[in-house]
Chains A and B, each alone.
Chain A
Amino acid sequence: MDSSWKLTDAQLREWLSGLIEGNSVVAPVEEDGVLLFRPIASEDQAIVKPSGKTRWSPKEFLFPRSEALYRYNFKGGSVQLEDPSLPEGHQVLFGMRSCDASGIVRLDEIFLSGTKDRLYAARRENTTVVSTACAAADPECFCTAVGYSPVGEEGSDVQLVPVGEDWMLRALTDKGRNLVGDAGDNWAEATVKDEKEIEELEKTVAGQIERSPVNREWSQVLEEGFEHGAWDRLAQHCLGCSVCAYVCPSCSCFDMNHDANAFCGEQCRSWDACTFPLFTHHASGHNPRETRQERYRQRVLHKFAFREENDEPFRCVGCGRCVALCPAGLDIVSTVAAAVEAIREEGADAAR
């Protein structure tokens, strides 16, 4: 237990204050009554609590809402290309919940597999994640229903665990141990009893999440019932606004466009969503997903179906933001359950 300590809130804040020297620290900040991740200049801005999450996930600090992929200048009849400079400096993402840390790992699976994304790789390499386990669930939370945990370690370099008024600080990776550095010399080591607290927290929070679990076997049911008529009913209220994708910690779809004037330009990428009609619209006019029903189904199935292996995690980490913020009150867990029930009762081929 050499990498696990017990800190008072004051000690934690002192450490956070130290991190601001030499790092760009991003932490939850209250802005006009809303909790949001923001770069902080002083530790007292940070809101680090045993529960509660930011309105938006922290993904934009690795995968910005919009960014230039390369730039160009028109010179006479020719074109000069310019690679954007790589992001410099080290960033600490402080105080995200366990679900958001898992969301980052889901992003890694997209941007760092096969052909790697240069800008994402640069930011990811220079980022240390300090997550905060949850002592209570928010009303929309459902991590335990989709195979994740309120005390999950996935994606975290350092994990903070609320223990009463105090915090247990666990360095889980080399990056995490580097971030702690010598600071640990002044802290009390955590005891076996403190470690036990993690299990207790998991049980407590899981008990607060009243959603029935999404079974892994349902992926196959959803795939078999792809053309089932239930999707018309289930997606009936979807407005196609795509707030679900924007606030989602694991949604990674993007658009690419050119922004240019007579002298220079750049290729930009910006967040996009499979729930928008133009997402799959061909130049020819053909669109494989012409209806909202087809687009909503794609979003649900991309999270809960189309997995290569049965032990592969769902691409929904259970943060519940999409449930809390959907203007039409759609709930992805209820949708999955209802779709599976309909497909099982009426058969996979029930007419659209």
Chain B
Amino acid sequence: MPLAEAVPNPYQPSLVRIHDFSDETRDVRTLRLQFVDDAEAGSFAGWEPGQFGQFTVFGAGESVFALANAPWRPNGDNGSAPTIECTFRMVGKVTSALRAMSKGQVIGFRGPYGNHFPVGDWKGKDLVFIGGGIGMAALRSAMLDVINRKEEFGEVVILNGARSVADMVYTEEMPAWQEVDGVRVVRTVDPGGENEEWNGEVGLLPNVFEGLGLDPEGRIVIACGPPIMLHYLFLSLGKVGYSPDQVVTTLENKMKCGIGHCGRCYVGPFSVCRDGPVVTWAELNELPKDY
């Protein structure tokens, strides 16, 4: 067979329907999507936390979002067909068009792309998830995967930070995470972002993290947030004795193709969509500061 006929079109998406959504904040929404064609759902089932997808609003364009729900485990509780969840902030043309869509409407999805969090390597270890703002969306899948089988892991601390109380995501589901034995949720807002009812922490994420005084021994830190947050978080982590291979993050470079061709997401020789997006702090130290 000629080469090209054997090559599927990597850019043609699957059709997925907006089954449901919840509004996290005034500009952040979480979508629950179902494949229009069950056969396509089957071939999608093997994805892992940390991977991402390209979501198409036909007529507007594509946007990259992390796959935010727990991965589909055939023997787990999620017996139904695999679904996709993504949390996005309305910030540009595509996300504004997506925000305007309603239940039942069809969008495009292609993926999963990229590498994933090494959740299997974390068994028996204490874990800290640190998410800044919408950065929580990229951690949610790994976090839910861990919470769903908490007995396989050690102590879990979830640090959810936002600019202000109104900008905090996943507020409705956080109490349920907290109820799982051995899971502790810490919420924090930037100074000035609190209001009268606020009963969480006030402070920048790196400072709040330091204040928790978590012993680095046997602990893995999984962090995602804006570049400036990561910069200061790494300084804090170094200060309190974490080594770079104990810290995992996920890069959020601008991407278009998702398959390592368009050249946009390079950090030196590292193509974020193809070689990442998940990297350890140690791996990041080997790359030029170009993210």
Contact = CB atoms under 8 A, between A and B. Distances in A.
Nearest to A301: B268
A288 B288 CA distance: 11
A121 B11 contact: no
Interface string B1-24: 011110111111101000000000
A302 B269 CA distance: 8
Given A115-B259, A284-B226, A307-B269, A122 B4 contact: yes
A28 to B, nearest CB: 27
Contacts of A265: 58-59
A190 to B, nearest CB: 32
Interface size classification for chain A = 35 or more
A78 interface: yes
A235 to B, nearest CB: 15
Given A74-B58, A114-B274, A306-B268, A79 B15 contact: yes
B25 to A, nearest CB: 15
Interface in B65-83: none
Interface in A304-329: 305-308
Interface residues of B, number: 49
B267 to A, nearest CB: 8
A73 to B, nearest CB: 9
Nearest to B57: A258
B39 interface: no
Interface of chain B: mostly helix, strand, loop or mixed: loop
Contact of A125 (B2, B264, B268): B2
Interface in B234-291: 252-254, 256-257, 259-269, 274, 288-291
Contacts of A114: 259-260, 274
A255 interface: yes
Contacts of A77: 104-106
B12 A81 contact: yes
A283 B11 contact: no
A115 B262 contact: no
A256 B10 contact: no
Contacts of A252: 261, 263
Contacts of A298: 266, 290
Nearest to B251: A288
A121 B4 contact: yes
Given A256-B256, A282-B252, A302-B266, A267 B261 contact: no
A280 B253 contact: yes
Contacts of B262: 253-256, 269, 272
B291 A121 contact: no
A269 B263 CA distance: 13
A307 B270 CA distance: 10
Contacts of A61: none
Contact of B62 (A110, A253, A256, A288): A256
Interface of chain A: mostly helix, strand, loop or mixed: mixed
Given A114-B260, A256-B257, A284 B91 contact: yes
A254 B267 CA distance: 17
Nearest to A110: B261
Q: Taking each of B59, B60, B260, B267, which has the highest tally of chain A beta carbons within 10 Å of its own beta carbon?
A: B59
Contacts of B259: 114-115
Interface in A140-198: none
A255 B127 CA distance: 38
B175 interface: no
Given A116-B7, A226-B289, A257-B61, A70 B12 contact: yes
B92 interface: yes
Contact of B9 (A118, A253, A269, A307): A118
A83 interface: yes
Nearest to A112: B3
Contacts of B95: 283
Given A118-B4, A125-B3, A302-B266, 17 more contacts: A70-B11, A81-B12, A114-B260, A117-B7, A118-B7, A119-B4, A227-B288, A254-B263, A256-B257, A257-B61, A260-B59, A269-B262, A279-B264, A283-B63, A284-B226, A306-B269, A308-B269
20 contacts: A69-B9, A69-B11, A79-B108, A81-B13, A84-B9, A125-B2, A125-B4, A226-B268, A226-B288, A258-B62, A260-B60, A267-B62, A269-B262, A274-B264, A280-B254, A282-B253, A286-B227, A288-B291, A289-B290, A306-B266
Interface of A: 69-70, 72, 74, 77-79, 81, 83-84, 86, 110-111, 114-119, 121-122, 124-125, 223, 226-227, 252-258, 260, 265, 267, 269, 272, 274, 279-284, 286, 288-289, 294, 298, 301-302, 305-308
What are the nearest 8 A-B pairs in CB distance?
A122-B4, A253-B263, A306-B269, A260-B59, A115-B259, A69-B11, A226-B288, A283-B92
